[in-house]
């Protein structure tokens, strides 16, 4: 029938506690989303590490490439005025 595949890869994201973002923790092999969530539960939350799981087919993820890292992220380096520490506020001025 099928060749003995290890099933597609799903990337797993866990929310550790209410109110915080889901964080990537690893991946699992599974035939479908439902099984991926069950496998992720068994593999990544054996010690109550999470309260919510997202699974995403690995091949559906697009990523920036490491070679372009410089050119891609550098433009923000020369814009220090985006940070509050760029501005000098005289002593005595409060709540700013």
> What residues have CB less than 8 Å from 31, skipping those under 6 apart?
7, 8
- Position among 15, 16, 22, 35 found at the interface with another protein (CB under 8 A): 35
Distance from chain centroid for Cα 66: 17
User: Is the Cβ of residue 52 or residue 69 nearer to another protein in the bound state?
Assistant: 69
Residue 46 engages another protein in binding (rule: CB under 8 A): yes
Residue 7 engages another protein in binding (rule: CB under 8 A): yes
Residue 56 engages another protein in binding (rule: CB under 8 A): no
Query: Is 7 within 8 Å of 29 (Cβ atoms)?
Result: yes
Query: Is 61 within 8 Å of 27 (Cβ atoms)?
Result: no
User: Is the Cβ of residue 66 or residue 90 nearer to another protein in the bound state?
Assistant: 66
Query: Is 27 within 8 Å of 10 (Cβ atoms)?
Result: yes
Residues that bind another protein (CB under 8 A): 1-2, 4-7, 9, 26-29, 31-32, 35, 42-43, 46-47, 63, 65-67
């Amino acid at each position: 029938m099928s060749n003995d595949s290890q099933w597609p890869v799903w990337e797993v994201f866990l929310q550790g506690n209410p109110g915080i973002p889901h964080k990537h923790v690893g991946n699992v092999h599974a035939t479908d989303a439902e099984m991926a969530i069950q496998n992720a539960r068994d593999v990544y939350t054996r010690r109550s590490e999470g309260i919510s799981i997202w699974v995403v087919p690995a091949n559906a993820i697009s990523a920036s490439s490491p070679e372009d890292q410089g050119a891609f992220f550098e433009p923000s380096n020369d814009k220090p005025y985006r940070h509050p520490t760029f501005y000098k506020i005289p002593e005595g001025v409060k709540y700013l």
